[in-house]
Amino acid sequence: MEAGGEIFHDLFDLWNFWAVIVMIIVCVWLFHHSLRYRSSDGKTIENDSDHFTPGVFPKENDDLRMELAWTIVPFILIVYLTFVAWGPLDEVWSADENAHEIGVTASQWNWNFDCGDLDADICEVSNIDVEGQTRPLLRLKAGESYMFNMTSVDVTHAPFFLDWGIKEDTVPGLITRLHYTPSVDEIGSSLLMCTEYCGKDHGYMTAVVEVHA
């Protein structure tokens, strides 16, 4: 079975692939019609405005096949992407009875981690210097299952575990949860950042997550 991070990175690549395909189709269509139907020097265009009714599309210009195509094809693509994106959510939303619970409290513009009574080898919190600023450091053990119980004390934040490819909102007055098991392939340090605009120092609201063997 793939590690959780690999699943979400593969999903990200899939969405980017289809985004590029759609962009190519739209751009080719746009340039084709821009060239095909451009005006020519010396060409006179008849004013046929008397035969148009405001708000009514001319029936002679209707193309049912084209209308069906640009409705059905995008619909199928959206349904497909929704289906493949829904499955991996079990990786981060499913409850694990053996998961170690970690409290995460967001505030402008800081992260507070609470390891509770967990051994330091399983979960440890300290500080680290990040580009001249003191930021929280969360140390976790590879292969261990973790459940992050998250909330906010002021506004909505969104912790994004950059290398893992997962995120979830933290909302004042609510507890949101995120489950993850870092693999041995994810040993090392990675960045946690806020991806929900939360004020003037939003861009500096970071932390470091370190996975060790």
Q: Give the pLDDT of residue 110.
A: 94
Residues 6 or more apart in contact with residue 117 via CB below 8 angstroms: none
Q: Give the pLDDT of residue 31.
A: 93
- Domains of the chain, each with CATH number or no CATH: 98-212 (2.60.40.420)
Q: Give the pLDDT of residue 2.
A: 46
Of 199, 206, 193, residue with least CA distance to 128: 206
Q: Give the pLDDT of residue 1.
A: 37
Q: Give the pLDDT of residue 87.
A: 73
Q: Give the pLDDT of residue 5.
A: 62
Distance CA 187, CA 209 (A): 10
For the whole prediction, is pTM greater than 0.85?
A: no
**Residue 203 gets which letter from DSSP?**
G
Of 194, 186, 30, 166, residue with least CA distance to 89: 166
Distance CA 190, CA 67 (A): 47
Give me the tens of pLDDT residue by residue for the chain, a chain 213 residues long: 344 567 777 888 898 999 999 999 999 999 998 888 777 766 666 666 666 677 777 777 778 888 899 899 999 999 999 988 887 777 777 767 889 999 999 999 999 999 999 999 999 999 999 888 899 999 999 999 999 999 999 999 999 998 888 889 999 999 999 988 888 888 999 999 999 999 999 999 999 999 999
